[in-house]
Amino acid sequence: KNQVEQSPQSLIILEGKNCTLQCNYTVSPFSNLRWYKQDTGRGPVSLTIMTFSENTKSNGRYTATLDADTKQSSLHITASQLSDSASYICVVSDRGSTLGRLYFGRGTQLTVWP
Amino acid sequence: EADIYQTPRYLVIGTGKKITLECSQTMGHDKMYWYQQDPGMELHLIHYSYGVNSTEKGDLSSESTVSRIRTEHFPLTLESARPSHTSQYLCASSVRLAGDQETQYFGPGTRLLVL
**CB pair distance less than 8 Å for A99 and B102:** yes
Any residues with CB less than 8 A from the CB of B83 and at least 6 apart, and which? B15, B114, B115
CB contact under 8 A, B108 and A34: no
Query: What is the Cα–Cα distance from A16 to A64, expressed in whole angstroms?
Result: 19
Q: Cis omega (within 30 of 0) on the bond before B83?
A: no
Please choose, from the candidates B68, B34, B76, the residue with its C-alpha nearest in 3D space to the C-alpha of residue B51.
B68
Query: How far away is chain A from the Cα of B6, in angstroms, using its nearest Cα?
Result: 10
Residue A98 has pLDDT above 60, yes or no: no
What was the pLDDT predicted at B98? Answer: 64
Interface membership of A89 toward B (CB under 8 Å): yes
Beta-bridged to residue A102, according to DSSP, are A93
Alpha-helix residue ranges (DSSP H) falling in B2-105? none
Q: What digits encode the pLDDT tens for the residues B6-35?
A: 999 999 999 999 999 999 999 999 999 999
Q: Which residue of B has its CA nearest to A32?
A: B101
Angstrom distance (rounded) from CA A63 to CA A61: 7
B43:A44 CB<8 A: yes
A22 burial class (0-12, 13-18, 19+ CB within 10 angstroms)? middle
Q: Minimal Cα distance from A51: which residue of B?
A: B101
- A25 shares contact with chain B (CB less than 8 Å): no
pLDDT tens column, A35-94: 999 998 889 999 998 988 889 999 999 999 999 999 999 999 999 999 999 999 999 988
Residue A64 β-bridge partners? A57, A75
User: Is B101 within 8 Å of A32 when comparing Cβ atoms?
Assistant: yes
Q: Could A34 and B107 be called an inter-chain contact, meaning their C-beta atoms sit closer than 8 Å?
A: no
Q: What is the pLDDT of residue A97?
A: 46
How far lies B108's CA from each of A26, A80, A111, B11, B16, in Å?
A: 29, 24, 20, 14, 26
pLDDT beneath 50: ranges in chain B: none
